[in-house]
């Protein structure tokens, strides 16, 4: 019972971590987009394209880490 609650809390914290990371990456892209955009692409499209690239690179690694932590929490090594 308490393990399920702990797992839910852990996964919620990891979702917040991923969300915070994604937000920070997008904020950085928005801040610097005008300096990096040299090919006439709109700032909005540039930011969306770069954000998708950033998220798809990092999110699977964070999710894999979250799953490893959850498994270790539910079934600690002997």
Query: Domain locations in the chain?
Result: 2-74
| 56 Rama class: left (phi>0) / alpha (psi -120 to 50) / beta | alpha
Residue recorded with tokens 């700032």: 43
Q: What are phi and psi of 33, to 5 degrees?
A: -60, -40
- Confidence at 63, pLDDT banded by 50, 70, 90: confident
- Confidence at 33, pLDDT banded by 50, 70, 90: low
Give the pLDDT score at 34.
59
SS3 content of the chain, % helix, strand, coil (to 5): 85, 0, 15
Give the pLDDT score at 53.
77
CA distance 74 to 20: 26
- Confidence at 5, pLDDT banded by 50, 70, 90: confident
- 71 pLDDT more than 60: yes
């Amino acid at each position: 019972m308490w393990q399920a609650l702990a797992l839910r809390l852990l996964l919620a914290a990891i979702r917040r971590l991923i969300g915070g990371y994604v937000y920070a990456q997008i904020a950085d892209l928005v801040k610097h987009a005008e300096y990096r955009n040299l090919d006439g692409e709109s700032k909005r499209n540039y930011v969306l394209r770069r954000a998708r690239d950033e998220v798809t690179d990092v999110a699977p690694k964070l999710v894999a880490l979250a799953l490893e932590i959850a498994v270790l929490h539910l079934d600690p090594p002997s």
